[in-house]
Every structure is written in C-alpha cells, then in structure tokens.
Amino acid sequence: PQPVYLSDYQPPDYLVTHTELTFDLDPTATRVKARLHIERNPAAALSAPLVLDGENLTLVSLGLDGTALEERDYVVSDTTLRIEHVPERFCLESEVEIDPNSNTALEGLYRSSGMYCTQCEAEGFRRITYYPDRPDVMATFKVTVIGDPAREPVLLANGNRVEQGERDGRHFAVWEDPHPKPCYLFALVAGDLCKTSDRFTTQSGREVALEIWVEEENLDKTGHAMASLKRAMAWDETTYGREYDLDLFMIVAVNDFNMGAMENKGLNIFNSAAVLTHPDTATDAAFQNVEGIVAHEYFHNWSGNRVTCRDWFQLSLKEGFTVFRDQCFSADTNSAPVKRIQDVSFFRTAQFAEDAGPTAHPVRPDHYIEITNFYTLTIYEKGAEVVRMLCNLIGWEAFRRGADRYFERFDGCAATIEDFVGCMEDASGERLDQFMRWYSQAGTPEVDAFGEYDYVHGEYRLTLRQRTPATPGQNEKLPLHVPVRLGLVGTKSGQDLTLTLDGESLGKEGVIHLRQAEQTFVFENVAEAPVPSLLRGFSAPVLLHYPYSREELAFLLTHDSDGFNRWDAGQRLSMLALDDLIAAHRNGVEKVMDTRVVEAFRTLLDGEVSDKAVLAEMLTLPTEAYIAEQQRIVDVDAIHAAREFMRQSLAVALRDEFIATYEANASDEPYAPTPEQIATRSLKNVALAYLMAIEDAKGLELCQAQFAAGRNMTDVRQALTLLVHSDRQDLAAPALKTFGEKWAHDSLVMDQWFTVQVTRPQPDVLERVEYLMDHPAFSIKNPNKVRALIGAFTQNRVNFHRLDGQGYRLLADVVIELNRLNPEIAARLITPLTRWQRFDESRQALMRQELARIKKEPLSSNVYEVVEKALA
C-alpha cells in the first residue's frame, strides 16, 4: 500500500451537487441505485476524466444523462470507476449490488443483530456506491429505502422523512437532507426498532423532535442519553450560540460498532455501549461516558458537519475542537476539577505513550497509508489540548468571536486548520505562527524548570528549558509556544504571592509564555521564599520536570490554590515513594513505606478536601500504566509489587479512616447519576478498595454485603471486581457465577463480566482468557466483546507481559484472525505490541517475534501500516 501525502492535495475535478440514492435492501444482495448530479469544478482541466471511488461493489449498470454506457466507455478497477470523457454538467446513473451480511469490517452498509446500518467515516461510502469519497465534495441527498415490512419495519436515513408507502409487498421511506454534506456523513438504518421520543425548543423557538431508536428490550435504557442530549443542545446555544438546524434529531443504538458513535447528519449512530444506561446495568463511569459521547456527537453538527474538513489530514480540525467542546460541557455539568484530573491523567498515560512510540504523529499528520489508523489520541485528545491552549492564550471572549467567525465564514464548506486558527488570529489580533508548530510537530515536549529565590533582592528566578525528543521521521524540532500557568505559593503564608514580572503585576496567578529553547523569568517583590506551582490545570500538553522535594510536594498538596495541581502534587509525591519501592524490589531489599505519603493521605482523609470527587481522585495511586510511562525500560513486576505494597501499607496504616470513610458515604438513596451521588460512591468505593487490598475482615464483610445488596451496577461491579481480584477465590467464584447467570441475557453487562475476570492480577489469567473466548457470550466479530476480553487483557500488565511470551502470542493470534474480519479493530488491538522498545531484552525479542509472525500474513493496509512502523 502507498502513502497519501498532505502536500499532494488537489481540489476535486468534479463536484456532486445533488445525490439521489435508492436502496433495495436484501441481506446478501442489496441493490443500490445512484443518480449523481455532477458538475466539473471550474478550476479543473476540460479534459479531466471522472474518477469515482468504489470497493467491494458489483456493478450492474451505468448510464449518463439517460443513456446506458457500454463497457468500453469506462474502466472499473478494484478501487475506482473511471470515465475518460464526460460533459461539464451531467447526471450519472449507476446500479450496484452489495452484500451487507458478509461485511464483517463494519464499514459501509452492514448488518448488526439483524438490522441494517452504515458507517461511512472515513472512507466507508465507497463500499456502498461509486462516488467521489472525499470530504470536500458536498451534496444534498435524497434517499429512498425499500425493505421488508416484517423484518425491517423501521426505515431511517438523514434529514426529514418526506414520503412513505408500500409497493409489491415491500415498504419504503423517502428521506431528504437539505444541508449539503460530504458522503462520510451519510447514514441509513433499517430494522425492527422501537423509539423513545422527546422534544427540544431551540432558542429561536423552533421545535425539534428527538428520537432514540433501540431494540425493544432496551427502551428503559434511553432516559439518560435523552436528558444528556437536551443538556448538550442547550449548552451549545448558551456557550457557542449554535442551534440545531433540522426538525428531527435521531440516535440509533447498534451492537456491532467499531468506535463509540458517529455524527451522521440528523441520524447519529451509536455503539449501544455509548448510549444505553440503567442503574442496574451501567456504572457511574458509563453514565458519564454516555453523557460525554452524546454531547460530542451532537456538537459535531456544527464542528464537523456544517463546517467539515477539506481532507482527512485536517481530521483534528473537527475532532480536536469537538473534544474540547465536550470536555468543557462535561466540566460545566459535573465536577470541573475532577473532569480535568481524569482527562489529564488519561492523556499523560496514553497519549504520551503514543508520542513516545513508533506510531507517533503530529496533530496534523503529513502522510498516512490508512486513515482509520489515525483516529488516535493525538488527533483527538492532543488536538483538544491545542485548542484549549489557543482558548487560554487569546481568552474566552476572543475565542468565542473566533468560533463565530469560523462557523459563519465556513458554513457549508470544507475547511483547514489554517482557516480555524486564522479566525482566532483575526478575532484576537494575536500572531499565531509559532503556535502552528503544535499542529505539525510530533512528540511530547519536555520542559525542565529550575527556580531560585534571592532573599537579598526579593526576587524569584525561574528558568524554563524546552526540548522535544525526535520522533520517527522527524528528527529536528523547533521551540514551541508553551503557555505556563503558574502561582508562587509562599512557604510562610501558605498563600499565592502576587506575581510581578518586568514591572507588571499579573495578580496571584499568571501565564508566562515560553517561546525559546530556554528562558528565565524574574519575578520581583517576592516577599518570602515560594514553592512554584507550575503548569496549573495542565496549561500545555508537556512533560514538566521540576526537582521538587517531598516536603515541597506535601506542602503543595495542602496549600496549592489550584485543585488540579494539588492532585498533581499528590501524584508526584506518590511517584517518588513508588520509585524507592521499585528500586527496593529490584535490589531484593526490604520495602519501606514513606511515612510522608501515609501522613499526606491521613490529612486528606481527615477532611482536608471538601469535594468528595476530588478527594477520591487524590486517594487513588498512579496506575501501573502511568508509572510505566515514567520508566525508560519498564519493569512490569517491580511496578506491580511496589504499587501493591503501597496500597497495602496505606490500608494497614489508615484502616480505621477507610472504614469510617466507607461508612460515612454508604447511602441507600435511590440511584441518580448526579455529581453528588457519583462523588459519594466513588469515595466509598476507593475506601473499599484499600480495605480489600489487605483482605481485612471488615472489608470483606462490607464488600460481600455491597455485592449482595445489588443497589446499582457501580457498587456491584466494584464489589465483584475486588472479590475477583483478591486471593479469596472461595468468595469470588460464587459471586462471578451469580453475576454471570443473572446477566446472561444482557450483552453489555456480560462485557463487564469478561473484563472483571481478565484484569485479575493473579497469574492464571491467560488460561481464563482462552477459556472465555469459547464462552457463548463471546464473539470475535463483535468489537465490544474483543475490547472487553482481549483489549482488557492487554491492559493486565503482569499477565499480558508474562515472561514466557504467551500473552503476546495470544494477542498475535487474535490480530491475525481479525486482520481478515475487521482490519480496523485488528490494527488498534496491536498497539501494546508496538511498544516493545520499552521492555527488557527478552520481552523485546518475544514481542518482535509476534510482530514478525503477523507480518508474514497477507495483511490489510491497516495492520500493514502499524506493523511496518513497529518493526522499522
């Protein structure tokens, strides 16, 4: 497979102004008729041939302006249909046959639990009909769907339904979408579905019908998604002044879906895991996830659909901006500091790892082989961090003006990242040339900071030095514009000191702009020695090094006025102690717990932090994955042993406090996914986890009682997890059995049942994975099952990285099978193997051996691209 380069971008030679499609549905032989109203792009050469994309299509007929074309008039290849000579304006009529049943890749038109559904982003539409499958070709669509009234009583497509009826024992519906859109936003759904309905009145007084379509047994699981949708619609009006633009907004839940959801115009299609919730079946985390994804897809209606991307290199234009929008929405709707803590904690673990691995790429890549491999943490999450920096740099008012300008100027257009940043420049008057490097330069910038206090002159000198390590294909890096939000916390007063820089007062907190490789900032009139609180709120996506002492970190943990940095100080303090424990484990000497960490936790448990959700985060130790990110060569076993030792030491030392915390937060209120209840449950469950770390008698009693009470899935799943991950298999086995039998009918709950079992740290898990792969509830064709069982297993570090290499072998076997069935999922699943450079020599060899074994297969372009980079 050949790469595509951003520098080769050319505008399309032909534009489609209007698209008419007729689908005659059949499980194995669906007929798709297309009437494409096409015009030559004025910029194109008169002699330009018409080249349409098409894959896995059987061409039945082709005509131009009512005249059938002969085979000599066109050339069909595996991926294109080419007509050498066409008029300036014409209607192309085609009919193709496709086979939805055999579509296991889940791109294009496929079947899921008996229904028909589509996934066209990024390049799935070419598996439906011959078309210029690129986002800068935007057309209005009229779609007729013909189906069997018994098998698919519901026929949906984008826009408004304008007609329906019956003919020859079949029935049909006609849908019209008046908004020009690229074909990746096309959607069709047909099946035996039921709906929940509601309404929303926009700020200008328009009535919008809202519908969530699901299988009948899931009707009671749509309430939270509907409420989230209405909150998101209201938020986009008040925050960005954007209202919805059709009379109908539909969401459909499907069981087989490669990602979380898809923002098709007026007809969002969701992975059922990203939309269905019920207190008995979904955890608090799932409720919050659903709220965030519903909002994300809804926000795309403006940032993505009304204004789309010129080409797929600009993917972060819509995804980074929309993630930023959904993060702000969730922060406004829930606990803002906790949202930031969770997002950053995930980002620093997973995106930093991506940046440090062989598939590292910029927020705007300059080439790719397979675009679906680029729906990454860098494009989404780092893209969102870049937009957040931009917003913080120019201030919310200017940012909002810039967003208005962007939505107005590019409405109905396919835009670029320069267009977006240009609007922000116009709105703020700031030059953002250097800032643009964030889009083109891959890798995580590292910032080294050093501070010294000059008692004599009352000055604090802060030196910042930045460097970005080389990434594949990008050795030279230029300095970035890094906004560092900071405070200086007085060691005597415990308060933020006033910041004066170059004679100008910044108040108690300020932002300094690191633009050069090294810069020194001299703060004047600093009355007492401070501890710097740097990069508050994670003001830039960088790795910050500052040689904090443990005393300074303990001080910031209790005195920093920035909630995020208080949490971060706790994480840094735990990390220093964990480093000692890891070293002790490696050297075979006795592990000794740092009492400063114990005392810091005691202070927290004594009521230092009033926000329970923040407190729960502060009591949570860095994950094994995060700790691993801090090591050049990862010692899987030492990390696990050190973290377990720390959890157990804290549990022993603070047993009574954890019991008191548990009891103070146990509640029998009816379940609601409110921020207050979620905070209370998470604090209670963190306390329970510590008690179970030492299998304390009281802890075991509470855990069993929590499982048996079965109040809600958050509590039940936590209790089940803690039992299964303990050494008390006598208690775990019956609990697993009860749970498995009770929920055998609920696919999403069974996914949780799989995950709980394969994330157990004890050494017998690989065999359990193999056993569960034969379980009737598992199917390798269903991406949720693969993620719940295999994906979760690869996150079980001690088991996946078994020294005999069997964990790697199992993953490679699954990847090889999925490479044929669903290349997109296969390519994502390989990720842990691609990180081989970070492990010891024997593991490296075993991981590379499995990559090499995969490479010998006839590979899809998705898997090929990843394996090639991993072995380069």
Distance CA 869, CA 872 (A): 5
Nearest by Cα to 442 from 394, 492, 395, 377: 377
With respect to Zn ion, which residue has the nearer C-beta, 121 or 594?
121
Instruction: Work out how close the CB of 270 gets to ligand HT7 at its nearest, in angstroms, rounded to a whole number.
Output: 10
640 belongs to the binding site for ligand HT7 (CB under 6 A) = no
In the complex, the smallest distance separating the C-beta of residue 5 from Zn ion, rounded to whole angstroms, is 24
CB closer to ligand HT7 out of 129 and 372: 372
Choose the contact partner of 725 out of ligand HT7, Zn ion, none; CB within 5 to 8 A by kind.
none
DSSP letter for each residue of 298-313: HHTTTBTTTEEESSGG
Tokens, residue 445: 């910038």
Using rule CB under 6 A, residue 297 touches ligand HT7: yes
Question: Shortest approach of ligand HT7 to residue 258 CB, angstroms?
Answer: 4
Rg of the chain (C-alpha set): 28
Residue with Cβ nearer ligand HT7 (617 or 824):
824
The answer to whether 296 contacts ligand HT7 (rule: CB under 6 A) is yes
Smallest distance, ligand HT7 to C-beta of residue 403, A? 18
User: From Zn ion, ligand HT7, none, which one binds at residue 692 (CB under 5 to 8 Å depending on kind)?
Assistant: none
Closest separation between CB of residue 314 and Zn ion, Å? 13
The distance of closest approach from Cβ of residue 113 to ligand HT7 in the complex, given in angstroms and rounded to an integer, is 17
Binder to ligand HT7 among 133, 136, 211, 263 (CB under 6 A)?
263
Binding residues for Zn ion, total number by CB under 5 A: 2
- Answer with the entry of Zn ion, ligand HT7, none that 347 interacts with (C-beta below 5 to 8 A by kind): none
Question: One-letter amino acid identity for 260?
Answer: G
For residue 304, the minimal CB distance to ligand HT7 (Å) is 7
Catalogue the active-site residues.
297
What is the C-alpha to C-alpha distance for residues 347 and 342, in angstroms, rounded to an integer?
Answer: 8
- Widest Cα–Cα separation across the chain: 95
Helix (H) or strand (E) holding 647: helix 636-653
Place of tokens 């005392």: 599
What number of other Cβ atoms are within 10 A of residue 51's Cβ? 18
- Answer yes or no whether residue 262 interacts with ligand HT7 by CB under 6 A: yes
Q: Which stretch binds ligand HT7 (CB under 6 A): 133-141, 203-211, 293-301, 856-864?
A: 293-301
Question: 315-334: which residues touch Zn ion (CB under 5 A)?
Answer: 319, 322
Element of type H or E holding 848: helix 841-855
Q: What are phi and psi of 139, to 5 degrees?
A: -135, 155
- Interacting span for ligand HT7 (CB under 6 A) from 66-74, 292-300, 476-484, 632-640: 292-300
Nearer to ligand HT7, 119 or 301 (CB): 119
The residue among 143, 270, 142, 156 whose CA lies nearest residue 209 is 156
Interstrand relation of 367-368 and 188-191 (parallel, antiparallel or unpaired): unpaired
Residue number, 121 or 211, with CB nearest to Zn ion: 121
Closest residue to ligand HT7, Cβ-based?
A: 259
| DSSP structure class, residue 244 | -
- Residue 297 vs 568, nearer CB to ligand HT7: 297
- Choose the contact partner of 119 out of Zn ion, ligand HT7, none; CB within 5 to 8 A by kind: ligand HT7
Overall residue count recorded for the chain in this entry: 872
310 binds ligand HT7 (CB under 6 A): no
461, β-bridge pairs: 452, 522
Write out the binding residues for ligand HT7, residues 566-585 only, by CB under 6 A.
none
Contacts (Cβ under 8 Å, ≥6 apart) of 633: 838, 839, 840
For the bound state, the minimum distance from the C-beta of residue 296 to Zn ion, rounded and expressed in Å, comes to 5
Report the partner that residue 372 touches, choosing among ligand HT7, Zn ion, none (CB closer than 5 to 8 A by kind): ligand HT7
Q: How far is CA 332 from CA 366, 386, 761, in A?
A: 35, 20, 36
Q: Of 118 and 144, which has the nearer Cβ to ligand HT7?
A: 118
**Binder to ligand HT7 among 284, 319, 562, 657 (CB under 6 A)?**
319
Measured CA to CA in angstroms, residue 736 lies from 17, 472, 702 at distances of 57, 45, 17
* DSSP assignment string, 340-385: HHHHHHHIIIIIHHHHTSTT---SS-SEES-GGGG-SHIIIIIHHH
Closest CA to 526 of 481, 491, 567: 491
725-784: contacts with Zn ion (CB under 5 A) = none
Which of the choices Zn ion, ligand HT7, none does residue 375 contact, using the CB cut-off of 5 to 8 A by kind? ligand HT7
Q: What is the DSSP letter of 479?
A: P
Is 317 or 627 the residue whose CB approaches Zn ion more closely?
317
Binding-site size, ligand HT7 (CB under 6 A) = 15
Q: Which stretch binds ligand HT7 (CB under 6 A): 116-124, 621-629, 709-717, 757-765?
A: 116-124
Token digits of residue 246: 């059709």
Cβ distance to ligand HT7 smaller for residue 182 or 675 = 182
d(CA 838, CA 854) in angstroms, rounded, equals: 20
Q: Decide if 758 contacts 792 (C-beta within 8 A).
A: yes
Pairing label, strands 248-254, 267-271: parallel
Q: Which does 259 bind (CB under 5 to 8 A by kind): Zn ion, ligand HT7, none?
A: ligand HT7
Place of tokens 């299964």: 724
Query: Cα 64 to chain center, whole Å?
Result: 43
Residue 121 binding: pick among Zn ion, ligand HT7, none (C-beta 5-8 Å cut-off by kind): ligand HT7
Among ligand HT7, Zn ion, none, residue 122 binds (CB under 5-8 Å by kind)? ligand HT7
Query: Minimum CB separation from ligand HT7 for residue 263, in Å?
Result: 5
Reference 18, options 89, 97, 114; nearest CA is 89
Site membership for ligand HT7, residue 343 (CB under 6 A): no
Residue 815 has phi, psi (to 5 degrees) of: -60, -40
Residue 319 or 419: the one with the smaller Cβ distance to Zn ion is 319
DSSP codes, 518-573: EEEEEEE---S-EEEEESTT--SS-EEE----HHHHHHHHHH-S-HHHHHHHHHHH
Beta pairing, strands 446-454 & 543-545: parallel
Q: Which of residues 222-261 bind ligand HT7 (CB under 6 A)?
A: 258-259, 261
Pair type for strands 50-53 and 80-83: antiparallel
The rounded distance, in Å, linking the Cα atoms of 360 and 338 is 28
Dihedrals φ, ψ of 49, to 5°? -75, 160
What residues between 349 and 388 interact with ligand HT7 by CB under 6 A? 372, 375
Least distance in angstroms from the C-beta of 139 to Zn ion: 22
Minimum separation from the CB atom of position 322 to ligand HT7 (A): 7
- Residue 262 site contact among ligand HT7, Zn ion, none (CB < 5 to 8 Å, cut-off depends on kind): ligand HT7
Site for ligand HT7 in 118-177 (CB under 6 A): 119, 121-122
Chain positions 801 to 830 lying near ligand HT7, rule: CB under 6 A, are 824
Q: Out of ligand HT7, Zn ion, none, which partner does residue 381 contact, by CB within 5 to 8 A per kind? A: none
Which range touches ligand HT7 (CB under 6 A), out of 117-125, 145-153, 635-643, 687-695? 117-125
145: enclosing H helix or E strand: strand 139-147
Contacted by 377, from ligand HT7, Zn ion, none: CB < 5 to 8 Å by type = none
Q: Cβ of residue 300: shortest distance to Zn ion, in angstroms?
A: 6
Site for Zn ion in 788-817 (CB under 5 A): none
Chain residues binding Zn ion by CB under 5 A are 319, 322
Chain residues binding ligand HT7 by CB under 6 A are 119, 121-122, 258-259, 261-263, 296-297, 300, 319, 372, 375, 824
